[in-house]
Amino acid sequence: MEQPDINVVYNVKHQLPLIIYIGQYFFFTGLSAGSFVISVIATLLGRKEFKPIGKITAILAPILLIIAPLNLIADLEQPLRFWHLFLYYNWTSPITYGSFLLTAYPIMGIIYAIMVYTNRQTAAKILGILGIPLAISVHGYTGFILALAKARALWNTAAMPTIFLVSAMVSGIGLVVIVAAIRWKWFDKKATPEQREQDKRLILQLAQFMAYTIMLDLFLVVSDILVLLTAHSDALEAGMLILTGNFAPLFVGVEIILGALIPMVLVLGPTRKSLTAAVVASILVNIGVYAMRFVMVIGGQTIPLS
């Protein structure tokens, strides 16, 4: 039997609750968490050639995490009431975890940066080890914000927090590569040629590490979509929305092709010895991750609920 034509004659839809500020906030916390993890890895390895990267990332992480919550406050309908988050906390809400994590993490990041810059290695190592779980939870909880909003089929998957963490690593490393390359190009003139060569090699190694995290990210995204396509009807609709629907250009075009496949080829392909290719790949990766946040936050809400 053929289905009859179905037209919605009248229905009410309220405006999208979460807007681009939220996606931007996810992007900035991701950058911060990613660069913090890189900084701690550099500090823990303790080798002399990792020092510049450890220093750059130590200062990037708290700066980015001071910018990030401004997006959240701008998104509030009552921005002057933001302090209610601390006074009237609700332990079942992921936003409450976030408001405390977002306070603790930048403070820790600033202390860690001071330790790194004043060369107190042991203190920096201890703070770094303590800080990694904090950095992971600061970004991981943002995945839970989406995953626990159960109304939206695109968000309500167990893969969401992990996808957010891995894409945070991707974009964070990308940012570190860009900043380290700027430093190498213009602010590293005093170093000896051997040292410069070493620094360049280090940046290229970071870019390769980024390519491997992109692979992990792609695996997670593909598995998420495969499950969406075989789950219930709303999930199928969500999967089709990003694969063939309105958000396909952003998801397939920008996030997957421009933001993941092309950077991977640039970094691992014939141009793998070129610093320019690494920087271009890092910029593309950051565009791709930003598109991913946009698709997730805005796209997830465009599927009609009634």
Options 59, 63, 96, 287; binder of other proteins; rule CB under 8 A: 96
- Stretches 124-132, 150-158, 181-189, 254-262: which one binds other proteins (CB under 8 A)? 150-158
Q: Return the number of the residue (20 or 134) whose C-beta is nearest other proteins.
A: 20
Would you say 199 and 189 are in contact if contact means Cβ atoms under 8 Å apart? no
301 with 152: CB under 8 angstroms? yes
**12 counts as binding other proteins under rule CB under 8 A:** yes
What amino acid is encoded at 65 in this protein? L
Count the residues in the chain. 306
Cβ distance to other proteins smaller for residue 36 or 141: 141
Contacts of 299 (CB under 8 A, 6+ apart): 154, 238, 241, 242, 246, 247, 250, 251
Least Å distance, CB 186 to other proteins, is: 36
Site of tokens 């050639």: 49
Residue number with CB closer to other proteins (16 or 129): 16
CB 99 within 8 Å of CB 138: no
Whole-Å CA distances, 260 to 149, 257, 289: 27, 6, 9
Q: Does 148 bind other proteins (CB under 8 A)?
A: yes
Exposed e or buried b per residue across 185-204, where buried means at least 16 C-beta atoms within 10 angstroms of its C-beta = eeeeeeeeeeeeeebbebbb
According to the binding rule CB under 8 A, does residue 192 interact with other proteins?
Answer: no
Choose, by CB under 8 A, the member of 135, 251, 298, 299 that binds other proteins.
298
Between 145 and 160, whose beta carbon lies closer to other proteins?
A: 145
Site residues (vs other proteins, CB under 8 A): 4-20, 72, 75-78, 81-82, 84-85, 87-90, 92-96, 99, 145, 148-152, 232-234, 298, 301-306
